[in-house]
Amino acid sequence: MSSKKKQAELIEEISGVNPLKCMKCGKCSASCPSYNEMDIKPHQFVSYVINEDVESLVNSESLWKCLSCFACVERCPRDVKPGKLIDAARQMVVRQRNNTYLSPDEVPELLDPEIPQQLLVSAYRRYRR
Amino acid sequence: MQELINRAKELLDDGTVARVLGWRAGDLPYNPEPAYFENAESLKDFVYNGFCGANLSKYMIEASKLEGKTLVCLKPCDTYSFNQLIKEHRVDREKAYVIGVGCKGKLDIEKIRAQGIKGIESIEGAEITDEAETLKIQTIYGEKTCAYSDAMLERCHVCKGKEHKIYDEQIGESKETKDGERFDEVSRIEAMAPAEKFAFFKKELSKCIRCNACRNVCPACSCRKCVFDSNKFDSSQKANVDSFEEKMFHIIRAFHVAGRCTDCGECSRVCPQGIPLHLFNRKFIKDIDELYGEYQAGDDTDSKAPLTNYTFEDAEPSIVGKRG
Amino acid sequence: MQRIGVFVCHCGSNIAATVDVSKVAEMALMEPGVVHAEDYQYMCSEAGQAKIADAIHEKKLTGIVVCSCSPRMHEATFRKAAERAGLNPYMVEIANIREHCSWIHKDMEEATKKAVILMRAAVAKVNLNTPLQPGESRVTKRALIIGGGIAGIQTALDIADAGYEVDIVEKTPSIGGRMSQLDKTFPTLDCSACILTPKMVEASAHEKIKIYTYSEVENVSGFVGDFTVDIRKKARSVDMDKCTGCGVCQEKCPSKKAPSEFNRGLNNRSAIYTPFAQAIPNVPVIDREACIKFKTGKCGICSKVCQAGAIDYEQKDEIITEKYGAIVVATGFDTINLDKYDEYAYSQSKDVITSLELERVMNAAGPTHGHLERLSDGKAPKEMVFIQCVGSRCSDDRGKPYCSKICCMYTAKHAMLIRDKYPDVNVTVFYIDVRTPGKNFDEFYRRAVEQYGVNYIKGQVGKVIPQPNGKLLVQGSDLLDNRQILKEADMVVLATAIEPNPDVRKIATMLTASIDTNNFLTEAHAKLRPVESPTAGIFLSGVCQGPKDIPETVAQAGAAAVKAIGLLAKDKLMTNPCTAHSDELLCNGCSTCENVCPYGAITYEDKEVNDHGIREVRRLAVVNSALCQGCGACTVACPSGAMDLQGFSNRQIIAEVDAICR
Amino acid sequence: MSIEKKEFRPKIVAFCCNWCSYAGADLAGSSRLGYPADVKIIRVPCSCRVNPMFILRAFEKGADGVIMCGCHPGDCHYSTGNFYARRRMTLLFSMLDYIGVENGRTRVEWVSAAEGVKFSDTMNSFVEKIYSLGENVRLGDLRCRN
Amino acid sequence: MYKIAKENLSALFRLIADSQELYLPVKTAGQVNFAAWSEEAEVALDTLKSVKSPKDAFFPQSEGLYTVRREGRKMKVEPESLKEQDFVVFGMKACDVKGLEVLDNVFLSDPVDTFYAARREHGTIVALACHEPEESCFCKVFGVDAANPAADVAAWMIEDELHWKALTEKGEALTEKVKELLSDGDEAAVETEKQSIHNIIEKLPYMNLSLDGWNGGALSEKFDDKLWEELYKPCLACGTCTFVCPTCQCYDIKDYDTGNSVSRYRCWDSCMYSDFTMMAHGNNRTSQMQRFRQRFMHKLVYYPANNDGMYSCVGCGRCVEKCPASLNIVKVIKAFQKQGGEK
C-alpha cells in the first residue's frame, strides 16, 4: 500500500469519518468562522482525503486555522464532519512530532487573555473525552 | 388443618362446593396423595402437612369438567400455576373455590433419606401448624433429627413469597422460607466453560429414564397430547439412548413452557432420578427477565406472554454470543 | 406412496455447465417414491412442459419435482403445467439448483453433489405433499379511499367512473388536501385551485362517491375483497343536511383566535369555520377547543344567527361500519418539523418561512391576501433568499435521507413568480443540486435563471442570523467561486423536506400494510407492482408511497384505481391454500396461537369432538382460511403441534431437514 | 471406531423466509456471489415458521450448523413474524449455549431481498465458523453416525 | 463360604472386569443406578435400592433389534447380534433377583426372546443380602427372603467384610476366577447377619400386608370393582412406577430413521402411557383409570393366572418411594382390603 493511501486511511481511522458520504453541499464552508483565513476550504477537505493528498492538507494554512468550533460537524447533513477530518490531520502531525502532547496541568499557564474565547470553548470540546 | 377441614365441611354441607380437592393421609408418614373428598365423613382422612408438596392446580383441568364447584387447596406458589391455567383457558375459574392455604415450606423425603435416615416409622414436626424447626424422626434404627429447612424442597429455599395470587378465602399462616437466590445456580452454570456445561448436563440428563413424570406433573404442560406422544413432528421416540433424545425432550419441553412456567418446581420434585430440571426453566425465566423485562408467569391472568409479544428494539439472537 | 416424477432442467448451460444434470436425474431414481426422472434443455419451455404433462399421463405421477431455477421464478409456471395435465398444482415442488447451486459453485463435482441433495429434499417433501384446494371468497364491490387530497380524489373518480361505489374518508373538514393550499403549480403555472376545485366538485357530485370528511378510519378487519372498516365521523356540531353554507356563523363567531390550519398558522380563524372558501362540503365545523360555548357554556351566537338551525352542540362522534373490497391509501404528506434546524432561525424569525407557508403568502386567499410581505412588519421585501434541501438528503437523525423531489421545481416556480410580480425584488437560491428530471422541467428552471434573473448559488447555507435591524444575515458559501457569502435578506424561504403524514403509521398497522423506515408505505414490488401494498387488497396512491409531484400523483392515483377496479371487477377471489390448520384432537384451546396471529384469523369455538370414543365439548382454535396468509407464526407458538401449515407442514420441513442432513 | 480420517465437510442447514432471505439468496445466485456448497437452503414462508424442533432435529441428524435468515425486523412480509422468531431464536440459542453447545453453530441473520452480497458474505462467514468449530459431536444422535 | 475385606473389593472388581463386563450400583450425579464398572466409578454398595432396578442388565431400556439399509433400490436387513460375552451383575438384591424370575416366565417361555435369553445365559449374578431393609420394603409378602438372595452367588456385607457363597455352577465358576482374592468365610457370622435381617423385617410397617383375594381367579370381581374409579385419580400417568419396577416387562417397538438406515429398536413401554398398546384401530384402554387398573390387575391377577399363582410384584418398594403422586401397589392392595373389611 502506498504511503499516501496509508495516510488517507489513517485520517479516516482517526476521524471515524467516511469521506465518501459527502454530497458536496458546502454547508461546512458556509458555516465556517475561519473560512477566509483558510487556503483549503472546509468542503474541500473531503476531496483531499479521497484523492489521498493528505500531504497538502497537512501543509496547508487551514490545518492551524480551524478553530475546532465544530459548527461544520454539527450541521453537516451527511455525517461527514470536515472538522473531524482536519482535526485528524492535525493529530497526525502532532503524533509525528514525537508525542509532545499538552498535559492538562500545563493549560492554565498557557492561557492568555488574548486567546479568542471561541478557541477555549473549542479546546474544551475537543478534549472533553 | 382442623380449621381447613371444618371450613371444607361447611362448604360441602351448604352446597357451595361439590367436592374438595386436597390430600389424603398416606400409609407412611410422608406419602399423602392428592385426593377428592365428596362428603364430610371422608374428610377424616384429609391431611395437610409439610409433605403435601403436590401442586393441585393441574388437577383442576379435569375437575373443571365435573358437575359443580371444586374446593381446591392451593399453596401460594400453586396460585401462580392456577392463574396461568385460567389465562390459557384450561381451568374454569367459576368451577373452582380456591382456598389459599398457608405454607411453611414443603419437605422432600429424598433430602431426609440423603442424610442417612432410613426405616422411617413416624415423623414429628411436619404439621403445618407446628412451629418446630426440627423434625423428629422415629426409625427402626433409632430416633433421628433433621432441621426442617434441611429437609425442604429446593424450591422453598427460593420461595416466590407468601402471597396467594388468587383465592376465594385464605386459611392458615405462611412462613418466609427463602434463604437463597433462585438464579444463583443458573448463573453458576452460565459462568462455566462450554465443555464443563456440556459435561454437567450430560451427566444429569444421562440419568433420565423418560418416565415423563416432569411433564405430566407440570401445570404448564397441559397439552392434551404432548408433541412427543404424537407423530406430528415425527418425534415420537420414547427410548432413552443417552445421546440426543433426552436433550431434545428437555430443551423442547422447557421451550414450550418458556414464558408460561411459573417456576413451581414440581418437575424437580417428582423426578425419580433427582435431575434438577428447574435449571432449564429458570434459565429461560432469567433470559426473559434480562432481555424482555421482568415477567412472572401466573402473576395475573391477562398479561401478554413474553413469547407472544415483541418490541421493535428486542435483542438480536447474536446477543447470546456477546454476553459471554 | 406417491409416484413422483423428477425433471432436471439444464437451463441451457446455466445449470448444465456446473451440474451434471443426468447424474441428478439418475440419482433421483434411487429415491423412495420416484418412478420417473429425466433431464431436458429448458424445462420451462413449451416442449419441457409437455414432457412433464406426458410423464404425468404415462407414469400416473402423483407428485412432481422440478430441479431448475428459483421457485420464485417458475413455480407458478410448473404448477400451471401440472394443473393442465390434471395434477393438483400443489403437488409440485421446485429444487432450486440454479440460483442456489450452479450459479454460485464452480466445481462440477461439488455442485452436482449439492444438486442431488437439494433434489432429495424436494422429493422428501413431495412425498408428504397433499393436494390443496384454494378456497373462494367473495368481493364487496366498494372501495375505500383513505385521504381526500388530489390522489384520493383522482382514485375515487376513476373507480367511480368504472361503476363501483367509492367512499372517501378525510380527516379534515374538507377534501382538497395539500393541493388546495398551493397557489400555482409548476411547470405551467396554472392556478392550483382552478384545476383542483372542479375535481372536488365532480367527486362530491358523483353518485357513486360518498365523502366522509372530518372522519377517521378507526378499525380495519377482514381481508382482500372483504374488509370491514369502522369509520369515526367526528362530531361536527353542525347538521350537514340543514346547513346552507351561508357563512354567517363564521362571521359572527366571537372567538377568532384559533390558528388557521389551512394557512399554516400564519393567521387566525373563527372557532366555527370552513377551512377555505371552496371547501367541500361547504359546511363548517365547530372547533370545540376554541369555541366559547364549549369552553364556558355561554355564547351560542352561531346557533342564534343560523337561520337553518343547523348548529347542534349535542352532536356526538358517530361510528359507521362499512364493508369494502379494496382499500386505497392516499394519506399524503406534511412538511417536517424544523425544531432540529435551529441554524436557519425558523423559530426565531417570522420572516423565515417554509415554502408551503410561502404558497399561502402568495395566495390571494392567504393571510396577506396575495401580497408578498414580511410577516414580521408587513414591509415589502427587497432581498429574498431560498434555501434548498432543508432536512432532505440528510443522513443524520435531524432530517430525512431521501430527496423530497418537488422542492427544486417549486422553488424555481416561487422565484419566477416573485421576479415576475415584483421585479425589484432580488431572489437568491442556495442549492446543492438542481434536480429537474421531468417533462419541461429543466426548461422551466432555466427560464427562472435566464429570463427572470434568479440568482442561483451552488452551496448550502450554514446559518441564518436575525439582525437587530430586522434583516436576516445569511451565511453561505459559493462552492464554484470558492468564497464565503454573507448576504442580508429580508425574507428566507426554506425548502423543507416532506414526510408521510404522521397518521400513516397507525393506518398501516390497521391495514397490516408494511411501511419503510421513513414511514413511506412499501410497494409490493419496487418496479413491477409500484401501486400495490404487499398486503392483498391494499393499494397506494400519492405521496404516502414516496415523494412525488402532482402529475405523478395523479398518474399513480389512476394506476391505483385501475388495480382496485381489477379487484372489484371479480366476483370471487381464490385464496392461498397454504394456510394454517388446527388438529381438533390435539388443540388445547389455550389461545397462544391467537395471540401471535397478525391477521386475527384464529378464533375459538366450543365444539363437540369425538376423541377416540370420548365425546366432549372443547374450546378449539378455528382458522379462517380466507384471513390466514400462511406465515406460520401460530404453528410454532402451538406447543402441542395441533396447528400446522398446509404446504409447509412440520413433517414436510422435517423431511427436508432429514434429507439434507443424511 | 475407525481411525480413517475423512476431510471434514460440514452439513449446514439454512432456513430462509420466502419473501426476503430466499430472494436474497436468489440474488446472490444471479449475481454469482459464491459461498460454499455445504450450505443447503430450506424455504419457509416466514422466519416465524421455523420451529425450534426443526433446528434441534437438524442437529440430531448430524447438521454441524444451522442458520436462519429472515426479513429485517420491521420489514416482515407478515408484518410481525420475524419479531416472534427473533425472541424464539434468542431464547433457544441461549439455551443451547447454556447446555454447552458451541454458540457459533447457530445464527440468525436478517437478509433482505436486495442483499445478495450480505447473503453470500453471511454464508461465507458462517461456514468458516463451522469449519473452525469442527464436527458437531455434542448434539448429534449417535445412531446417525453410521 | 468365602470372604473378602471391603478394602479389597476394588481389586475384586478389577479382576472381574479384566475378563468380562461388570455391572454394579454406581452413583452418578447423586443417584445410584446399575452401571458398568470403571476405575472412576463411584461404587455404592451401601445403597439399598438403586433408582432403576437392575433388570436393565438383562432387558435394557432400549436395545436395537435390527437395522435396515438401502442398497440402491434394494433393502438389506442387518440383525443386531445377540449378547456373546459373559458379564457379571454385582450387588443385586433378593427382590431384584426374584424380579428376573418374573421376567424369565415371560421371555423364556415359548416363543423365547433370544435377546433376553442370551443375556441370561451370559450373565452371572452376585446378589447382596439387604443389611438394613427400609420401611418401603415388603418383599417378604411375596415370599422373598432379603437375607438369602437366590442368585449365582449370594453375598453378605458384615461389618468390613463381604461374605461370598456360590450357589450355582455359574457362581462356582466366578468364584474360581476370583479365588485368589478370597479367604475362608465365617458361616456363623452369616447366620447372625441373616437373623438380624429377619428381625428388622418383622418390624417393617408393610409386613402384615395381606394378599387375600388377589389371585388369578379374581379377575371379574376385581376388574369390575368401583374402587378403581377412586384410586386412579391422583395418578399423573407418568411411567415412573413401571420404569423403576424390576418386574415390568412391557416394551414398544419403534423405528429410528438415521438418514442412512432405519434402526428398529425396542424400548420399555409403560401401561400408564396413553399410547400403550396403541393399534391401528386405536387404543383399547381409553381412560387413565383403565390404564391404571391394567398395571395392578396385571401384577396381581393376570400374571398369577398364567404363572401358577406367582405374582409379578416382588415388594422392592421402589414405586412406594418414587411415585410423584404417592400412589403405589401397597395402597391399592390396602384399599381393597379395607373395602373388604367394611363390606
Q: Does B266 touch chain D (CB under 8 A)?
A: no
Q: What is the pLDDT of residues C494-535, one digit of tens each?
A: 999 999 999 998 898 788 777 777 889 988 777 778 999 877
Could C662 and E259 be called an inter-chain contact, meaning their C-beta atoms sit closer than 8 Å?
A: yes
pLDDT over threshold 70, residue B324: no
Cell numbers that stand for A34 in this block? 475561519
What's the CA gap between C661 and E27, in Å, rounded? 37
Angle between helices D52-60 and B245-256 (to 10 degrees): 170
Instruction: Give pLDDT, residue C1.
Output: 83
Q: What is the pLDDT of residues B58-89, one digit of tens each?
A: 999 999 999 999 999 999 999 999 999 999 99
Instruction: Give pLDDT, residue D21.
Output: 92
Do residues C143 and C102 lie in contact, with contact meaning Cβ atoms separated by under 8 Å? no
Could D146 and E256 be called an inter-chain contact, meaning their C-beta atoms sit closer than 8 Å?
A: no
Instruction: Give pLDDT, residue D1.
Output: 39
Could E259 and D61 be called an inter-chain contact, meaning their C-beta atoms sit closer than 8 Å?
A: yes
- The fold of the C4-126 domain, in CATH, is Rossmann fold (3.40.50)
Among D47, D48, D122, the residue to mutate for chain C (most C Cβ within 10 A): D48
Instruction: Give pLDDT, residue A128.
Output: 53
Per-residue pLDDT band at C454 (split at 50, 70, 90)? very high
The ipTM (two decimal places) reads 0.84
Q: What is the pLDDT of residues D89-114, one digit of tens each?
A: 999 999 999 999 989 999 999 998 88
pTM of structure: 0.76
Of B33, B207, B209, the CB nearest to E234: B33
Q: Name the strands in the sheet holding B120-124, side by side, starting at the edge strand that comes first in the sequence.
A: B120-124, B134-139, B142-147
Q: Which of E209, C629, C341 is nearest to D77 (CA)?
A: C629
What's the CA gap between C338 and C390, in Å, rounded? 9
Cell numbers that stand for C216 in this block? 377517521
Per-residue pLDDT band at E72 (split at 50, 70, 90)? confident
| Contact residues on chain C for B222, CB-CB shorter than 8 A | 588, 590
What's the CA gap between C641 and C620, in Å, rounded? 13
The residues in E 228-257 lying below 8 A from B, measured between CB atoms, are 230, 233-234, 236-240, 242-244, 252, 254, 256
How far does E52 lie from chain B, in Å, by closest CA?
A: 9
Please report, rounded to a whole number, the percentage of residues in chain A having pLDDT higher than 90.
25
Q: What is the pLDDT of residues C593-640, one digit of tens each?
A: 999 998 888 999 999 998 877 888 999 999 988 788 899 999 999 999
Could C651 and B304 be called an inter-chain contact, meaning their C-beta atoms sit closer than 8 Å?
A: no
Could B237 and E254 be called an inter-chain contact, meaning their C-beta atoms sit closer than 8 Å?
A: yes
| Contact residues on chain E for C614, CB-CB shorter than 8 A | 286-287
Query: Which residue type is seen at C147?
Result: G
Of C389, C393, C484, the CB nearest to A30: C484
pLDDT over threshold 80, residue A12: yes
Q: What is the pLDDT of residues B141-178, one digit of tens each?
A: 999 999 999 999 999 999 999 999 999 999 998 989 99
Query: What's the CATH architecture for C580-646?
Result: 2-Layer Sandwich (3.30)
| Contact residues on chain A for C434, CB-CB shorter than 8 A | none
Could E205 and B225 be called an inter-chain contact, meaning their C-beta atoms sit closer than 8 Å?
A: no
What is C335-499's CATH superfamily? FAD/NAD(P)-binding domain (3.50.50.60)
Stretch C394-398: mean pLDDT, rounded? 88
Same fold, C335-499 and C580-646: no
A69 backbone dihedrals φ, ψ, rounded to 5°: -75, -15
| Contact residues on chain C for E73, CB-CB shorter than 8 A | 29-30
Could D100 and B310 be called an inter-chain contact, meaning their C-beta atoms sit closer than 8 Å?
A: no
Radius of gyration of chain B (CA): 21
Q: Does C609 touch chain B (CB under 8 A)?
A: no
Domain residue spans of chain C: 4-126, 142-234+317-332+501-568, 248-305, 335-499, 580-646
CATH of domain C142-234+317-332+501-568: 3.50.50.60
Do residues C6 and C67 lie in contact, with contact meaning Cβ atoms separated by under 8 Å? yes
Could C614 and E73 be called an inter-chain contact, meaning their C-beta atoms sit closer than 8 Å?
A: no
Q: Does A122 touch chain C (CB under 8 A)?
A: no
Could C637 and B307 be called an inter-chain contact, meaning their C-beta atoms sit closer than 8 Å?
A: yes
Between the CA of residue E98 and those of E53, E151, E194, E216, what are the distances in Å? 11, 9, 18, 19
Dihedral angle, C-alpha A59, A61, A67, A72, nearest 10 °: -80
**Helix/strand/coil (H/E/C) assignment for every residue in chain E:** CEEEEHHHHHHHHHHHHHHCEEEEEEEECCEEEEEECCCCCCECCCCCCCCCCHHHHCCCCEEEEEEEEEECCEEEEEECCCCCCCEEEEEECHHHHHHHHHHHHHHCCCCCCHHHHHHHHHEEEEEECCCCCCCCCCHHHHCCCCCCCCCCEEEEEECCEEEEEECCHHHHHHHHHHHHHCEECCHHHHHHHHHHHHHHHHHCCCCCCCCCCCCCCCHHHHHCCCHHHHHCCCCCCCCHHHHHCCCCCCEEEEEEECCCEEEEEEEECCCCCCCCCCECCECCCCCHHHHHHHHHHHHHHHHHHHCCCCCCCCCCCHHHHHCCCCCCHHHHHHHHHHHHHHC
Instruction: Give pLDDT, residue D2.
Output: 42
Q: What mean pLDDT value characterizes chain A?
A: 83
**DSSP string across A14-45:** HHT--GGG-----HHHHH-TTGGG-SS-HHHH
pLDDT over threshold 90, residue C137: no
Q: What is the pLDDT of residues C400-444, one digit of tens each?
A: 999 999 999 999 999 999 999 999 999 999 999 999 999 999 999
**DSSP string across C445-488:** HHHHHHTT--EEEES-EEEEEE-TTS-EEEEEEETTTTEEEEEE
How far does C610 lie from chain B, in Å, by closest CA?
A: 13
pLDDT over threshold 60, residue B121: yes
Nearest chain E residue to D60 by CA: give it: E258
Q: Which of E142, E318, E143, E170 is nearest to E243 (CA)?
A: E318
Number of neighbours of residue C558 by Cβ within 10 angstroms:
18
pLDDT over threshold 90, residue A68: no
Instruction: Give pLDDT, residue A99.
Output: 56
Q: Which long-range contacts (CB under 8 A, 24 or more apart) does C433-436 make?
A: C433/C408, C434/C408, C435/C403, C435/C405, C435/C408, C436/C408, C436/C409, C436/C412
Per-residue pLDDT band at A124 (split at 50, 70, 90)? low
Of A21, A30, A79, the CB nearest to C459: A30
pLDDT over threshold 60, residue D26: yes
What's the CA gap between E142 and E317, in Å, rounded? 12
Among C612, C614, C654, C661, the residue to mutate for chain E (most E Cβ within 10 A): C612
Number of neighbours of residue C297 by Cβ within 10 angstroms:
9
Instruction: Give pLDDT, residue C558.
Output: 96
Of C462, C475, C482, the CB nearest to A41: C482
| Contact residues on chain C for E70, CB-CB shorter than 8 A | 30
Q: What mean pLDDT value characterizes chain C?
A: 93
How far does C407 lie from chain A, in Å, by closest CA?
A: 16
Instruction: Give pLDDT, residue D3.
Output: 45
Instruction: Report how many Cβ contacts below 8 Å link chain A to chain C.
Output: 74
Instruction: Give pLDDT, residue E260.
Output: 83
| Contact residues on chain D for E263, CB-CB shorter than 8 A | 143
Q: What is the pLDDT of residues E219-252, one digit of tens each?
A: 888 999 999 999 999 999 999 999 999 999 999 9
